[in-house]
A = this chain, B = another copy of it.
Amino acid sequence: MSVSIHIVEDEQPIITLVKYNLEKEGYKVSSSDNGNEGIEDIKKLFPDLVLLDWMLPDFSGVEICKILKKEKKFKEIPIIMLTAKGEDEDKIKGLNSGADDYITKPFSFPELLARIKALLRRSKPSLVSDIVEFEDLKVDRLTRRVFRKNKEIHLGPKEYDLINFFIKNPKRVYSRDQILENVWSDNINVETRTVDVHIRRLRQSINIDGFKELIRTVRSAGYSLN
């Protein structure tokens, strides 16, 4: 099921732009160009998230926000306020409209997207994926699940951390010390060779008979995901 986002905004170009980009990201986007319809549409469509213009011709964004946040049913919908540059940010925050985040126009789309994802992660974690893939290996960071050839694989904590580290920079060779620093993080009073043993365990877990070995040993240098 795809995530639905509703935009209430009177400037058509902004709607067009945001809508285009969000749809490209796979969201279902609807919009209203005034506050009155905005309220109605939101109640009718019950979107997963709302982008609300601060300044609307009729209702102000704050009012809509307050109305929504008053009703139990709609209170959970995350709202991002779109504010113009001149409007004092402190004042906006002070008004306590109940909005969950603000973004100042003009904004870049990646920034907006980042904020949308952040909010969705909070309210509807199951709808926002954070999946990294490398060839036939897939790591879902939200659920901490790992798949090889779409078959789930059980990994212990350290094994998960390890593969999660390698998959950030596939193909790059890391020395045992680098791996220790990054995966064991804090207390590095651990033998270098311990890395080897965990690599071995990871290999056992992620390798399927007949398929390519994913972890390369680079003699006197370290390991890499390949």
Which residues of A does B touch, CB under 8 Å? 43-46, 73, 106-108, 110-111, 114, 125-126, 142-144, 156-157, 169-173, 218-221, 224
Chain B residues whose C-beta falls within 8 Å of the C-beta of A169 in the assembled complex: 125-126
Given contacts A144-B218, A157-B220, A157-B221, contact A172 B45 (CB under 8 A): no
The residue in chain B whose Cβ has the minimal distance to the Cβ of A107 is B44
Residues A111 and B157 in contact in the complex (CB < 8 Å), given A125-B172, A143-B172: no
CA separation between A85 and B170, bound complex, in Å? Answer: 41
For residue A124, which residue of chain B has the nearest CB? B169
Other A-B contacts than A45-B108, A126-B170, 18 sampled, CB-CB below 8 A, are A43-B111, A44-B107, A44-B111, A46-B110, A46-B111, A125-B169, A142-B171, A142-B172, A143-B171, A143-B172, A143-B224, A144-B173, A144-B218, A144-B221, A144-B224, A156-B219, A157-B219, A157-B220
Contacts of A157 in B (CB 8 A): 219-221
